[in-house]
Chain A
């Protein structure tokens, strides 16, 4: 198995050296990258599946995941029913202690049916080699190639830096997360980092397109091409090539170690960042930490057909589960992103304003933000604000009665 993969990778690498970049790995990708594709999932592709919108209501898959996930999901549902968001959740529990991938398969099928999911972080307890990380499996299977985290500071929250406004765009399926590891000789383990032209280009194009549509000025590509000249070199090269189509935007690049230093000392210099998989997770955690922690920022995963929304830093928070101190804001922000994606802008707006008012103006914050309120205090205050701001069916004219 390992030998076969090595051979294939060697074959596909030859064109890298000739700098030709044909469509390299894409055709065989489904075999190369560890997938959990069952035969039935192969049969029906997304293009055949009609969308799950009925009478103006959307069906959305909800994966509560482990740790604090289930609590946070309860809050989201409470808020949605309070402000009348036209969303019907299909809740799927994935038991982390079970072996096998039945639940996971079912969850992925469900996302394919509904097109959109709201997700906590799913634990993979098993250390078995055959068990892939379930989060990674979902991303690979649904081809969610880009992850977007918008790090925007909330004023008044104790943090190292204020007024940060950076958009992190991360390649989500390739790179170090290809899950191709093997022990070729006893005592020597190799892990493969895969960079493909197709995915590097897609994510770069997404970054530049995002920058253009949101009036951003600059895209910074993060890499380590001085050491990994081929793999990260390819990523950088793709970004440079895509930049030619966006002449009005500035494009520069920065090495990952320097990026981390710059991020903690002068984070304001960044605007939109375009990154490979592992660097993305590092930088997003660094930036979220600078702004007040894992409890605030949401992340969006997009593929060509599906969208999955989750908290920005992917931590389960098992240690604080059930203590009523978890910060619900990140998951609420993820649900706001989801409403925006589905076109329910009014609902999204109302919930956003209520949340913002709660943690900024009313200063009702959980301990991770230096407050001394419980999760339920935060949610109750949001509900209190929302009670005066109900959004009418089907979309709009909400009045603030105060």
Chain B
């Protein structure tokens, strides 16, 4: 039996290798002795997911995730594309990646590094292009205190929902007179309505009590004013969810002093990026917070705070927790809750035991150590 499995595995690997440099799929797991006896026998029913390892430590932590999936016998195959802006020679074509995500509807993505200047003179970054092409308008970052991680605040449980297709990220900048640069911030009623409804629907679905709109409408009376008004309009459709608004500078202060007051937050693009990172810092840093970007059709799961950690490439020290939590979210999204729970419990157990910790959490263990510990706890 094992001979047969090995042969099959090798054939699959060769077939994948023949497909080219940019795409490879993890070999089909043909082991029959599944650890998960309770679920139905899914057998050949496998889901395909697009995988973008990204820059920096992305490939390492994605590999960690794949190892965990393989060990848990998760019926998910990856279609891997190397997409990168700082390494345009090796990068796959954006159109191919977009087509793959549109086909699979789900994607796991590491972080794409963004250079300060563009080598093609483009104002839009690759990240923004991907988001715009797929219309990934809503970014959801669930910031939650994890067990076993010592932080200044405990019991943080906040969801930050960020509009990420307009606002300051419009990529519309110009120098009208030498020495004077204008950057346009675009706010539209349609997209503001959409993100506000997303936030309230998210709150409804997850039994949350309160939605806080973050804005700066006292200064940008028209732009942020429109965003705020749309949120107010939508909030009237949700009489059972409390709605409040808060100015962005105050929000950051409240976040560091009393983060437990926040439940669901809905923010425009730039404020969202700031609050995301701030909140991630509160619960243990970029290595432990998972996020997801939604369009109507597709979801891209990626770490919540966007840092490539380029300094640690190849050193085997990055924390794969964020990426693994992305995997957990992915499984929950595609209706494989049993697998999702098994992996989630294993991660929690390892963090809670505190024996295996990566450097960012004050330990000395490597990425691989952590991965192995999670795998050992899968049951």
Q: With A90-B205, A109-B237 in contact, do A56 and B299 touch (Cβ < 8 Å)?
A: yes
Q: With A53-B296, A393-B106, A393-B335 in contact, do A401 and B233 touch (Cβ < 8 Å)?
A: no
Q: Nearest chain A CB to B256's CB is how many angstroms away?
A: 30
B residues less than 8 Å from A50 (CB atoms)? 190, 193-194, 197-198
Does A246 sit at the interface, judged by CB under 8 A? no
* A359-402 residues at the B interface, CB under 8 angstroms: 387-388, 390, 392-394, 398-399, 401
B201 and A54 form a contact (CB under 8 A): yes
Question: How distant is the Cα of A43 from the Cα of B236 in the complex, in angstroms?
Answer: 9
B105 and A392 form a contact (CB under 8 A): no
A401 and B334 form a contact (CB under 8 A): no
B294 and A55 form a contact (CB under 8 A): yes
The chain A residue with its CB closest to the CB of B202 is A54
Question: How distant is the Cα of A50 from the Cα of B297 in the complex, in angstroms?
Answer: 14
A392 and B47 form a contact (CB under 8 A): yes
A49 and B105 form a contact (CB under 8 A): no
Q: With A390-B40, A393-B335 in contact, do A54 and B47 touch (Cβ < 8 Å)?
A: no
A390 and B201 form a contact (CB under 8 A): no
A residues less than 8 Å from B333 (CB atoms)? 55, 57, 393
Does A88 sit at the interface, judged by CB under 8 A? yes
B residues less than 8 Å from A84 (CB atoms)? 334-335
B193 and A393 form a contact (CB under 8 A): no
The chain A residue with its CB closest to the CB of B103 is A394
CB-defined interface of A144-179 with B at 8 Å, one 1/0 digit per residue? 000000000000000000000000000000000000
B residues less than 8 Å from A48 (CB atoms)? 193, 233
The total of Cβ contacts below 8 Å across the A-B interface reads: 99
Q: With A113-B201, A390-B40 in contact, do A51 and B335 touch (Cβ < 8 Å)?
A: no
* B49-63 residues at the A interface, CB under 8 angstroms: none
Does B45 sit at the interface, judged by CB under 8 A? yes
CB-defined interface of A85-102 with B at 8 Å, one 1/0 digit per residue? 110101000000000000
B residues less than 8 Å from A82 (CB atoms)? 40
A residues less than 8 Å from B233 (CB atoms)? 43-44, 48
A113 and B205 form a contact (CB under 8 A): no
Does B295 sit at the interface, judged by CB under 8 A? yes
B40 and A55 form a contact (CB under 8 A): no
Contact of B295 among A44, A55, A113, A390 (CB under 8 A): A55
Does B298 sit at the interface, judged by CB under 8 A? yes
Question: How distant is the Cα of A25 from the Cα of B297 in the complex, in angstroms?
Answer: 41
Does A260 sit at the interface, judged by CB under 8 A? no
The chain A residue with its CB closest to the CB of B300 is A55
The chain A residue with its CB closest to the CB of B104 is A394
A residues less than 8 Å from B42 (CB atoms)? 390
Question: How distant is the Cα of A90 from the Cα of B200 in the complex, in angstroms?
Answer: 12
B residues less than 8 Å from A40 (CB atoms)? 236-237, 239
A44 and B237 form a contact (CB under 8 A): yes
Name the residue in B46, B104, B296 with the highest tally of chain A Cβ atoms < 10 Å from its Cβ.
B296
Q: Nearest chain B CB to A174's CB is how many angstroms away?
A: 27
Question: How distant is the Cα of A401 from the Cα of B46 in the complex, in angstroms?
Answer: 13
A113 and B237 form a contact (CB under 8 A): yes
Q: With A84-B335, A399-B43 in contact, do A59 and B201 touch (Cβ < 8 Å)?
A: yes
Q: Nearest chain B CB to A333's CB is how many angstroms away?
A: 22
Name the residue in A54, A390, A394 with the highest tally of chain B Cβ atoms < 10 Å from its Cβ.
A54
A residues less than 8 Å from B296 (CB atoms)? 51, 53-56
Contact of B105 among A56, A81, A85, A109 (CB under 8 A): A56
Name the residue in A40, A50, A52, A392 with the highest tally of chain B Cβ atoms < 10 Å from its Cβ.
A50
CB-defined interface of A50-91 with B at 8 Å, one 1/0 digit per residue? 111111110100000000000000000000011011101010
B205 and A112 form a contact (CB under 8 A): no
A106 and B204 form a contact (CB under 8 A): no
Q: Nearest chain B CB to A104's CB is how many angstroms away?
A: 13
Q: Nearest chain A CB to B198's CB is how many angstroms away?
A: 6
B residues less than 8 Å from A49 (CB atoms)? 193, 197, 237
CB-defined interface of B268-307 with A at 8 Å, one 1/0 digit per residue? 0000000000000000000000001011111100000000
B residues less than 8 Å from A53 (CB atoms)? 296-297
* B215-269 residues at the A interface, CB under 8 angstroms: 233-234, 236-240
B residues less than 8 Å from A52 (CB atoms)? 197, 201
CB-defined interface of B325-357 with A at 8 Å, one 1/0 digit per residue? 000000001110100000000000000000000
Does B368 sit at the interface, judged by CB under 8 A? no
Contact of B40 among A43, A113, A387 (CB under 8 A): A387
Name the residue in B190, B200, B234 with the highest tally of chain A Cβ atoms < 10 Å from its Cβ.
B234
Q: Nearest chain B CB to A129's CB is how many angstroms away?
A: 26
Contact of A393 among B236, B238, B334 (CB under 8 A): B334
A106 and B240 form a contact (CB under 8 A): yes
A residues less than 8 Å from B297 (CB atoms)? 53, 55-56
Q: Nearest chain B CB to A113's CB is how many angstroms away?
A: 5
A residues less than 8 Å from B104 (CB atoms)? 394
Contact of B138 among A54, A113, A388, A392 (CB under 8 A): A54
* B306-335 residues at the A interface, CB under 8 angstroms: 333-335
A393 and B197 form a contact (CB under 8 A): no
Q: Nearest chain A CB to B294's CB is how many angstroms away?
A: 4
The chain A residue with its CB closest to the CB of B196 is A50
B205 and A59 form a contact (CB under 8 A): yes
Question: How distant is the Cα of A398 from the Cα of B43 in the complex, in angstroms?
Answer: 11
A residues less than 8 Å from B190 (CB atoms)? 50
Contact of B45 among A55, A59, A109, A392 (CB under 8 A): A392
Q: Nearest chain A CB to B336's CB is how many angstroms away?
A: 8
Q: Nearest chain A CB to B363's CB is how many angstroms away?
A: 34
Does B177 sit at the interface, judged by CB under 8 A? no
A residues less than 8 Å from B202 (CB atoms)? 54
Additional A-B contacts beyond A392-B46, A393-B47 (18; CB < 8 A): A40-B236, A44-B234, A44-B237, A50-B197, A53-B296, A54-B138, A54-B299, A55-B106, A55-B292, A55-B294, A56-B296, A112-B237, A113-B201, A388-B40, A393-B333, A394-B106, A398-B45, A399-B43
Across chains A and B, which 5 residue pairs bring their CB atoms closest together, nearest first?
A55-B299, A84-B335, A393-B334, A394-B105, A387-B40
22 A-B pairs with C-beta separation under 8 A: A50-B198, A51-B296, A52-B201, A53-B296, A54-B138, A54-B296, A54-B299, A59-B201, A82-B40, A88-B205, A106-B239, A106-B240, A113-B200, A387-B41, A390-B40, A392-B45, A392-B47, A393-B47, A393-B334, A394-B105, A398-B45, A399-B44
